[in-house]
Amino acid sequence: MTHPAVTDLIARSNRLGSDPRNTNYAGGNTSAKGVATDPVTGEPVELMWVKGSGGDLGTLTEQGLAVLRVDRLRALEGVYPGADREDEMVAAFDHTLFGTGGAAPSIDTAMHGLVDAAHVDHLHPDSGIAFATAADGERLTAEAFGGRVVWVPWRRPGFQLGLDIAAVRREHPDAVGCILGGHGITAWGDTSDESERNSRWIIERAQAYLDEHGRPEPFGSAVDAWAPLPDEERRARAAAIAPHLRGLVSTDRAQVGRFIDDAVVLDFLSRAEHPRLAALGTSCPDHFLRTKVAPLVLDLPATAPLDEVLARLDELHRTYRADYAAYYDRHAEAASPAMRGADPAIVLIPGVGMFSYGATAQTARVAGEFYVNAVNVMRGAESVSTYAPIPESEKFRIEYWALEEAKLARMPRPRPLATRVALVTGAASGIGRAIAERLAAEGACVVIADLDLDRAREVAAGIGGADVAVGVRADVTDEHAVQAAVDAAVLAFGGLDLVVNNAGLSLSKSLLETTVADWDLQHDVMAKGSFLVSRAAARVLIDQGLGGDIVYISSKNSVFAGPDNIAYSATKADQAHQVRLLAAELGEHGVKVNGINPDGVVRGSGIFAGGWGAKRAAVYGVPEEELGAFYAQRTLLKREVLPENVANAVFVLCSSDLSHTTGLHVPVDAGVAAAFLR
Ligand SMILES: NC(=O)c1ccc[n+]([C@@H]2O[C@H](COP(=O)([O-])OP(=O)(O)OC[C@H]3O[C@@H](n4cnc5c(N)ncnc54)[C@H](O)[C@@H]3O)[C@@H](O)[C@H]2O)c1
Ligand SMILES: [Zn+2]
């Protein structure tokens, strides 16, 4: 049975964590202490439940809590070897755990356990961090909170910080919490409600103080050259910059990107002070682990010619990498982990917006959100004081902390298609849908492009949230719609690596029955549609310089000759030859182009469900629902071909195992001798 203290703790954590004004994503932690019965002795035992390492307060569940014995945790004070060896205490926490299971205790466990209060909240609110990073934060804290909130100077999270906060609680009985210099806030209470009230009071009081005392225009005056471009122009500019930029930031390892152009970012970038402030970097320890110590900032007018922008980004990226390596060299010691890559995580383009990057779409999004947090923090701090984040040497001690390195080493191995962005046309149904699902399951971010927007969105939602898949409307016969879909992919995930030309339809008519409109429709969707998609995608692939894959879902009918199929089979043969032509042309850019020849995929196929299946079944004299099995009997392997079988082949073609294969067609037809390739 869940302990009542745990029920309250989870509810409070979810309430606090779901409002971004209270804490940033996965930032902060909460705890409760209470008495339970020790099953070994039958005696009462005081326990602490505290959010464990990782996870987010907004979605915290009981499984995310570490459970420790308070007496043993406090006894650690007796063996504490001092601040210079405080990291050793993290391993010692394991010896204070109660029972089995539960999350691993985080570095912040000490601050919760050592403070003599039943309930403790540690949070990273923008308003609180504005105080924490203001040059005269200590004075401001006294002025705004009059002794009820105490200033604790910056110190890297750990056992000593826990002792510092415990001392504040002892020495200031009237205090309800503290501002942790350069970091965030911690509040406490005798009950869960009281702790939550105190946390909210500090956050709201801090914001009210900034609103009341802050000077207008803390980021300086607006600069004309950096004024936001109009909506459409801005997004077109972002889409034009994104591929080249992604290539740059993927110098050390491939990254996924996210574009954000909300009002907070555009306002910051339009102001005179943004270059100075951006150079100071982010501050909250949680922030810059994801954002890197500082962003890369383009220093050209919003309307500068595109080629000038790209050339300048090349220069700035070179400088960024050199500066980062110099930062590493300035602070690294013999025992420091190796440099983790010198590419930026945040790139700011005045007038256009922000690109954020990470190893997954989720980490890229969170990095962007953290930078928005940082902008809010800078605005608050600059409005009442001067923004003064922790010194560079301390940032390095966080970024290359042995404990962080250990966390990174424990991360699961990335999936085979991690960091790859895929666009699958016609993916709202049948084979395309199966392909999208498989690519996503292998770690790719997927854009579902289809005529049918509602179904495209449904399929995307079924695969996962916006960090995994997005649905867009695209008629592949329309040049502008194709460009818009490719742009949408680039803005959602930073670029594009893998394109599947799958959209199609089949009319199956004899020569004499085939109208010009039939002919045009089939050729428009398949031959011309694939050409348009491949052309728009290839521009991105070439700009990125990261190679890539284009896969055509052609057909057995591209080589097999039979009656009643002139338009469909001819356009499939056109697609098949596009594979060879583009393999020859795009090879020098590292882009592989391959095709798949499926046959008889009845299940899930809109082509078959839309009347064609019924007709075929009537021709063969079998019930429609047995058509798949009937086709299976005609194959060499006697197996029914399913959408997943085609999806498997797409995955294999794009996996690193087939890195040296281009211009190939793979039959996925369970064996049809008449369609053997030779
Ligand atoms: N099903 C088979 O047996 C089989 C065999 C060989 C090849 N293929 C090929 O596989 C592909 C997928 O077929 P399926 O069986 O999954 O069919 P399907 O009808 O289930 O899916 C095709 C999808 O393409 C979309 N689409 C059609 N026109 C479009 C356009 N102009 N722009 C964007 N999207 C468009 C449709 O909305 C649909 O979601 C087709 O190219 C088809 O020719 C299928
Ligand atoms: Zn913290």
What's the pLDDT band for 616 if we cut at 50, 70, 90?
Answer: confident
For the chain, percent of residues with pLDDT exceeding 90: 90
The answer to whether residue 216 scores a pLDDT higher than 90 is yes
The string of pLDDT tens digits covering residues 298-314 is 999 999 999 999 999 99
C-alpha 182 to ligand 2 mean position (Å): 10
* Ligand nearest to the Cα of 553, by number: 1
Of 279-293, 523-537, 539-553, minimum mean pLDDT range: 279-293
Directed axis angle between helix 479-493 and helix 529-544, to 10°? 40
- Ligand 1, pocket-test mutation among 435, 605, 640, most atoms within 8 A of CB: 605
The string of pLDDT tens digits covering residues 409-455 is 888 899 999 999 999 999 999 999 999 999 999 999 999 999 999 99
The answer to whether residue 294 scores a pLDDT higher than 90 is yes
The string of pLDDT tens digits covering residues 543-555 is 999 999 999 999 9
* Ligand nearest to the Cα of 129, by number: 2
The string of pLDDT tens digits covering residues 487-499 is 999 999 999 999 9
What's the pLDDT band for 25 if we cut at 50, 70, 90?
Answer: confident
Q: What is the DSSP string of 137-184?
A: HHHHHHHHHTTSEEEE----SSHHHHHHHHHHHHH-TT--EEEETTTE
Q: What is the pLDDT of residue 678?
A: 75
What's the pLDDT band for 610 if we cut at 50, 70, 90?
Answer: confident
C-alpha 596 to ligand 1 mean position (Å): 13
Q: What is the pLDDT of residue 143?
A: 98
Q: Which residues surround ligand 2, an ion (CB under 5 A)?
A: 184
Give the pLDDT mean for 660-670. Answer: 98
Q: Which amino acid is at 18?
A: S
Q: What is the pLDDT of residue 284?
A: 76
Return d(Cα 335, Cα 332) in angstroms, integer. 8
Return d(Cα 540, Cα 445) in angstroms, integer. 16
Considering the chain, what is the average pLDDT of its residues?
95
* Ligand nearest to the Cα of 128, by number: 2
Q: Which amino acid is at 462?
A: G
Q: What is the pLDDT of residue 278?
A: 97
The answer to whether residue 526 scores a pLDDT higher than 80 is yes
452 ligand 1 Cβ < 6 A: yes
Q: What is the pLDDT of residue 79?
A: 96
- Closest ligand 1 atom to 525 CA: 31
Say if pTM beats, i.e. exceeds, 0.85: yes
451 ligand 1 Cβ < 6 A: yes
Give the pLDDT mean for 332-344. Answer: 95
The answer to whether residue 285 scores a pLDDT higher than 80 is no
The answer to whether residue 268 scores a pLDDT higher than 90 is yes
Question: In DSSP terms, which residues pair with 660 in a beta bridge?
Answer: none
Identify the residue whose C-alpha is closest to ligand 1 atom 24: 426
Return d(Cα 24, Cα 18) in angstroms, integer. 9
C-alpha 577 to ligand 1 mean position (Å): 19
What's the pLDDT band for 619 if we cut at 50, 70, 90?
Answer: confident
Question: Are residues 601 and 643 in contact, defined by beta-carbon separation less than 8 angstroms?
Answer: yes
Return d(Cα 504, Cα 522) in angstroms, integer. 8
Q: What is the pLDDT of residue 307?
A: 98
Q: What is the pLDDT of residue 251?
A: 98
C-alpha 286 to ligand 2 mean position (Å): 7
- Ligand 1, pocket-test mutation among 429, 579, 630, most atoms within 8 A of CB: 429
The answer to whether residue 562 scores a pLDDT higher than 90 is no
- CB-based contacts of 530: which residues, under 8 Å, 6+ apart? 476, 501, 552, 575, 578
Q: What is the pLDDT of residue 55?
A: 84
- Nearest alpha carbon to residue 663 among 604, 584, 589, 590: 584
- Phi, then psi, of 451 in degrees rounded to 5: -60, -35
Residue 568 falls in the annotated catalytic set: yes
Cα dihedral across residues 502, 505, 509, 512: positive or negative: negative
553 ligand 1 Cβ < 6 A: yes
The answer to whether residue 288 scores a pLDDT higher than 80 is no
Question: Are residues 639 and 631 in contact, defined by beta-carbon separation less than 8 angstroms?
Answer: no
